[in-house]
C-alpha cells in the first residue's frame, strides 16, 4: 500500500489516465477534446497561482485560504464540465457513482477535521485577548493573570486534535482512489474520468498540506507523481517540489508550530512573557503582539470560510447525485448511502 510519505514509484503508480483515451476505439470528437483541453488548461492555471513566489509564503494562513479557494473553484469547474458533457446520472456506470460517493464522503470528513482545528485555534484567541487586557492594566495582580492566560494558550496550541490525528488514514485511503476506473463504451465518461483524475490529485495534495500544517507531522505530506503528458503536470510538480522542500525544512526547525502567523504570535508571547517576569510592561511593546494576534485571527476566519464553502460544494454535489439516483429508483446504490452520508455536519 502506498503511503503519503512514500517516494515516487514511476509515472503511473495508480493507473495511466491516458490509456483509455489513447486507444484506437476511443477517438474523441472535437467538442469533447475542446471541453477536456479547456478544463485541464484552467486546472494548470489554478495550480500555477498556488506556487509560492517566496519561501516566506509557504505554510501561511494566507496561502491556505488561497488554496482552499482554488479547490472550491476547481470542484465547481468539474460540475460545470459534467453539465457541458451532457452526461446525465442515468448514463453513469455504477462504478463511477461508487467512486464519486466514496471520495466525496472522505473529503467531507477532512473538511470536518480542518474546521474543528480552525475552531480550536481560534478559541486560543480568547486567551490572548484576556492576556492583553490584563497586560494593559500593568499591575502586579493583572500581570499574574496575564501570565496564567499565556501559559494556558501555550498548552492549548500544542494540544492534539483527535480529528486531525485521523487525517492520515483518510489521506492514505484517498491515495488509492487515484486509480482510474475503466471506461469501456463512453467517450464522455472517459473525458470525465480523466478530468476527475486532475481534480483528485490537486485536492489530495492540498489536503495533505493542510493536514501536515495542523498536525505538525510531515507524514501527512504527499508526494504524488503524474505523467509529464498532462497539461497541468509541470505546474503541479513545481508547486509540490517548491512546497515540500521548504515544509520539510520547517519541520526540522525548533518551533512551537509550523504555521507562520501562529509562530509570529508565539514569538511575541515569548517576548512579553520575559517582560512579565521582569515585573513591568511598556504598553508600546504590546503593539507587535496585538498586530500578530489580529492577523492570525482574521486569517483563520478567512480559511474557515473557504473550508465551509468547499464543504457545501461537496455536500451539494452528493445531494444532487443521490436525489437523481432516487428519482431513477436505483435502490441498489441507495442501500449504501446512509453510511456514506455520515460526513454531513
Once rounded to an integer, what is the mean pLDDT over residues 228-247?
A: 94
Q: Which of 283, 257, 281 lies closest to 61, judged by CA?
A: 257
Q: Cell for 304?
A: 474557515
290 CB-contact burial (10 Å; exposed 0-12 / middle 13-18 / buried 19+):
middle
Separation CA 291–CA 288 (nearest Å):
5
Phi and psi for 282 in degrees, rounded to 5? -85, 115
Q: Cell for 345?
A: 455536519
Query: Does residue 199 have a pLDDT over 90?
Result: yes
Q: Cell for 319?
A: 445531494
Separation CA 136–CA 185 (nearest Å):
71
Query: Does residue 276 have a pLDDT over 60?
Result: yes
Gyration radius of the chain over CA positions: 23
pLDDT in tens, 118-138: 999 999 999 999 999 999 887
Using a pLDDT cut of 70, give the percent of the chain over it.
86
Burial 253-263 (b: 16+ CB within 10 A, else e): eeebbbbbbbb
pLDDT in tens, 309-340: 999 999 998 888 888 777 776 444 444 444 43
Q: Model confidence at 182, in pLDDT bands (50, 70, 90)?
A: confident
pLDDT in tens, 144-178: 999 999 999 999 998 999 999 999 999 999 998 88
Dihedral over Cα of 276, 278, 284, 289: its sign: negative
Separation CA 262–CA 161 (nearest Å):
16
Question: Does residue 235 contact residue 201 with C-beta atoms inside 8 Å?
Answer: no
Amino acid at each position: 500500500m502506498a503511503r503519503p510519505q512514500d517516494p515516487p514509484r514511476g509515472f503511473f503508480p495508480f493507473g495511466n489516465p491516458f490509456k483509455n483515451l489513447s486507444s484506437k476505439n476511443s477517438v474523441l470528437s472535437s467538442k469533447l477534446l475542446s471541453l477536456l483541453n479547456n478544463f485541464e488548461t484552467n486546472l494548470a492555471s489554478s495550480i500555477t497561482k498556488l506556487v509560492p513566489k517566496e519561501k516566506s509564503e509557504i505554510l501561511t494562513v494566507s496561502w491556505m485560504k488561497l488554496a482552499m479557494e482554488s479547490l472550491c473553484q476547481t470542484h465547481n469547474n468539474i460540475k460545470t464540465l459534467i453539465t457541458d458533457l451532457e452526461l446525465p446520472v442515468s448514463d453513469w456506470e455504477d462504478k463511477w457513482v461508487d467512486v464519486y460517493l466514496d471520495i466525496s464522503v472522505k473529503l467531507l470528513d477532512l473538511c470536518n477535521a480542518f474546521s474543528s482545528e480552525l475552531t480550536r485555534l481560534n478559541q486560543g484567541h480568547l486567551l490572548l485577548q484576556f492576556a492583553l487586557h490584563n497586560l494593559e492594566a500593568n499591575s502586579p495582580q493583572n500581570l499574574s493573570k496575564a501570565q496564567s492566560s499565556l501559559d494556558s494558550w501555550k498548552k492549548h496550541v500544542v494540544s492534539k486534535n483527535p480529528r486531525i490525528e485521523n487525517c492520515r488514514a483518510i489521506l492514505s485511503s484517498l491515495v488509492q482512489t487515484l486509480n482510474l476506473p475503466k471506461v469501456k463504451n463512453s467517450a464522455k465518461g472517459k473525458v470525465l474520468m480523466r478530468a476527475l483524475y486532475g481534480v483528485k490529485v490537486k485536492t489530495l495534495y492540498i489536503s495533505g498540506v493542510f493536514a501536515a500544517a495542523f498536525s505538525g507531522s510531515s507524514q501527512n505530506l504527499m508526494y504524488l507523481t503524474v505523467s509529464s503528458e498532462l497539461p497541468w503536470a509541470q505546474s503541479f510538480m513545481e508547486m509540490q517540489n517548491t512546497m515540500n522542500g521548504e515544509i520539510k525544512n520547517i519541520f526540522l526547525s525548533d518551533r512551537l508550530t509550523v504555521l507562520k502567523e501562529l509562530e509570529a504570535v508565539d514569538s511575541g508571547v515569548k517576548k512579553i512573557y520575559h517582560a512579565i517576569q521582569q515585573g513591568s510592561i511598556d504598553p508600546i511593546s504590546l503593539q507587535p503582539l496585538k498586530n500578530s494576534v489580529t492577523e492570525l485571527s482574521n486569517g483563520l476566519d478567512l480559511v474557515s470560510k473557504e473550508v465551509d464553502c468547499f464543504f457545501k460544494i461537496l455536500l451539494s454535489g452528493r445531494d444532487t447525485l443521490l436525489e437523481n439516483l432516487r428519482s431513477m429508483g436505483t435502490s441498489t446504490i441507495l442501500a449504501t448511502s446512509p453510511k456514506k452520508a455520515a460526513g454531513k455536519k
